[in-house]
Structure 1
Amino acid sequence: MPKLADPPKSKAMEFATPLIPARLVRRYNRFLSDMIIEETGQEVRAHCPNPGAMLGLKDPGMRCWLEPNDDPKKKLDYGWRLAELEDGHMAGIDTSIPNRVVGEGLRAGKVASLSHYTTIRPEVKYGTNSRVDFLLTGEGLPDAYVEVKNVHLRRESDWAEFPDCVTARGAKHLAELTEMVAQGHRAVMLFLIQRTDCGRFKLAADLDPAYARAFDAARAAGVEAICYGTDITVNGVFFGQELPVDPNTQAL
């Protein structure tokens, strides 16, 4: 039987404007970075849409990809979208992208364990002053509460790790997912690896021991943990293949 062609990638996950290469001068103040445009040598300030520690992704001189914009409502003319890694690999910087990518993946039925659900609603209120990233429903199925976490830390081998800094908010989400399981629903923590040089996932228990302990407790209570990779090019970030999750958290 001939191999079927891969389905076209969603336009919703493509960058709106062609990216341009630049070199990182410095990233500071969490949401700001200085860059030198490769083609012109001009130094510009770019929005850094990532409040995390960005370990290994903010080294001066790193080649980056910026998205220009001419929106008068935006204070900066450039947004930092990608960091170029060794051997042609890429890492996504924008933490708002994973929910878009996962939303497309869910709607296309690419998340195998959730593909039977027929209704997908984003940003639904639940827990204590929280919103779950996606609530999935379907006839005869328990409601599925899905939280998405952006992953772009790699420190050894092909392991992707989360978190890259302390995340009290992440621990709160785990507690709320645990409560959903206690109420008879499904609860899923979906880690999306927004870099292309990783093949498996584990927790960075040394960077946030409290989150690791909360993760262990949540999984013991029935919260599911799944992980997917991404395909990343200068054109966009696209939903990838399911990747293994380390069963041994080794919480500190």
Structure 2
Amino acid sequence: MLIPYQPELIAGTLVRRYKRFLADIRLDDGRELTLHCPNTGSMQNCGEPGSQVWVTLQQRPGRKLPGTWELVETAPEELACIHSARANSVIAAALEAGLIIPLAGYPAIRREVTLTPGGSRFDFLLTGESGSCVVEVKSVTLALGEGEGAFPDAVSLRGQKHLRELTLLAQSGQQACLLFCVMHSGIRSMRPADHIDPVYGQLLREAAAAGVRVLAWSIKPTPLGLEVAGQLPVKL
């Protein structure tokens, strides 16, 4: 299943990323533009100046920047989608198509659901004859080499909070899932990035022990679109 980009991507070269949300891009036609960088993480190994990138250009009323950085080539024939918000949209499409097999038994899908007063807003609540399952999605672009990917790429207090709440939900009998949306074509397995955020790694293992299902799904980026590729192993 390929989810195409709308509008089509335009190729260029990364000049620099700065102030977290800004990137200077030199397009192949010679124009140099400042575009939106839609990623709050460190983007480790994904933000090297001189890298080939692909962007969307959309000038809309009220928008300050003329487009968005979408893809980057991190190694020969390896691409990463750095637009982290696309993780939820592509996972939603995959869930609706029944492509995420471990979660295919829930025909009803709700997005952005809060289950407890004052609690976090989770990405999905799936319901079916067997009950319900809350799903939190994390976008992954950190490739460590030799096919191994990891999350997070920076200390994630928000991610730690999600894991604590998922653990409590699982302990109360609620089905819960942490789903790594792996948007890097060079990643073939996943693990927690203990060298970056050891607390997150510990909480992830505790969550799994409490019954939280931990899944990783490969979403291969291409300049034509995002391809739902299949399940990856998770090494805890």
Aligned to 1:246: 235
Alignment partner of 1:196 is 2:185: yes
Alignment partner of 1:236 is 2:229: no
Higher Cα radius of gyration? 1
* 4+ residue segments displaced more than 4 Å: none
TM-score normalised by L of structure 2: 0.96
Alignment partner of 1:144 is 2:133: yes
Percent sequence identity is 37
Aligned to 1:18: 8
Q: CA RMSD in A?
A: 1.2
Structure 1 position 181, deviation (Å): 1.0
Alignment partner of 1:60 is 2:49: yes
User: Which amino acid is 2:198 matched to?
Assistant: P
More strand by share: 2
Aligned to 2:165: 176
Q: Please, which of 172, 175, 193 is the counterpart of residue 186 of structure 1? A: 175
Structure 1 position 154, deviation (Å): 0.7
Structure 1 position 70, deviation (Å): 2.1
Distance (Å, rounded) in 2 between the aligned partners of 1:220 and 1:108: 29
Secondary structure of residue in 2 paired with 1:26: strand
Secondary structure of residue in 1 paired with 2:76: helix
Structure 1 position 88, deviation (Å): 2.1
Aligned to 1:92: 81
Alignment partner of 1:221 is 2:222: no
TM-score normalised by L of structure 1: 0.90
Secondary structure of residue in 1 paired with 2:145: coil
Q: Is the 8 A contact 2:45 2:74 kept in 1?
A: no
Q: Is the 8 A contact 2:59 2:65 kept in 1?
A: no
Q: Please, which of 100, 103, 113 is the counterpart of residue 114 of structure 1? A: 103
User: Which amino acid is 1:165 matched to?
Assistant: A
Q: Please, which of 35, 46, 51 is the counterpart of residue 25 of structure 2? A: 35
Distance (Å, rounded) in 1 between the aligned partners of 2:94 and 2:61: 32
Q: Mark the runs of 5 or more structure 1 residues left unpaired by the alignment.
A: 1-7, 248-252
